[in-house]
Copies of this chain bind each other. A is one copy, B any other.
Amino acid sequence: MERCRLVFSGSGGQGVITAAIILAEAAVLYENRIAVQSQAYGPAARGGSTRSDVIISDSAINYPKVVQPNVLVCLTQEAYNNFYPIIRPGGLLITDSRYVKIQRKVDAQQKELPMHQAVMEKIGKPIVFNICMLGAVIRLTGLVTSESIMKVLKNRIPGSFLEINRNALDLGMTLAEDVKS
């Protein structure tokens, strides 16, 4: 895909901004792409949903906001309710099956993944929920390799946390594998 526009949405503390930054860094530093990453904060940020945008491209990006994402991730019901209408026709909608009840059919592939449940059962640390989500995103899109994500993580986090992040990334990739059509 020449240009991929992604929106990660959820609530504060779920790490959607961090996930977006990690993805953008992986694409640029280790896959030779160009990327822009942004977040807008407004009244919605006050106790509401968090949204973080990433554009990954092979050519210069003039407008850094995502209007219609090819890939929309919603980790809470409120985020889903706010953002499902913006998905690009033919895009990919990824939701967490514990937190989001899908209420509308959209013109997109819909993947409901038990990411939070799997992270709690297999790893027991909610802090890596966002990394599990990234694993699902990269497996379903092929945007960057898991090795590129791990290289970014190695620069960002203490060595003692690398293993649970690796496990969370693998878990997200496995969940995505299960639903890949």
Mask: chain A, 38-60; 1 = CB below 8 Å from B; 0 = not: 11111101100000000000001
- Tell me if A25 and B41 are in contact (CB < 8 A): yes
* A116 on interface, CB distance cutoff 8 Å: no
The reply on A139 being an interface residue by CB < 8 A is: no
In the complex, which residues of chain B have a beta carbon less than 8 angstroms from the beta carbon of A40?
35-36, 61, 64
Known: A28-B45, A41-B28, A41-B35. A64 touches B65 (CB 8 A): yes
Does A21 lie at the interface of the complex (its beta carbon under 8 Å from any beta carbon of B)? yes
Q: Does A132 have its Cβ within 8 Å of any Cβ on chain B?
A: no
Chain B residues near A63: list those with CB within 8 A.
Answer: 63
Partner of A28, one of B29, B36, B42: B42
Complex contacts, A39 vs chain B, CB 8 Å: 21, 24, 36-38
B28 touches A46 (CB 8 A): yes
Residues of B within 8 A of A21 (CB): 17, 39
Residues of B within 8 A of A106 (CB): none
Q: Which residues of B contact A143 (CB under 8 A)?
A: none
Cα–Cα distance between A17 and B20 once the two chains are bound (Å):
12
User: Which A residues lie at the B interface, using CB under 8 A?
Assistant: 12-13, 17, 21, 24-25, 27-29, 34-43, 45-46, 60-61, 63-65, 155
A-B contact pairs, 29 of them (CB 8 A): A12-B155, A17-B21, A24-B39, A27-B41, A28-B41, A28-B42, A28-B46, A29-B41, A34-B41, A34-B42, A34-B43, A35-B40, A35-B41, A35-B42, A36-B38, A36-B39, A36-B40, A37-B38, A37-B39, A37-B41, A38-B38, A38-B39, A38-B64, A40-B61, A40-B64, A42-B60, A63-B63, A64-B64, A64-B65
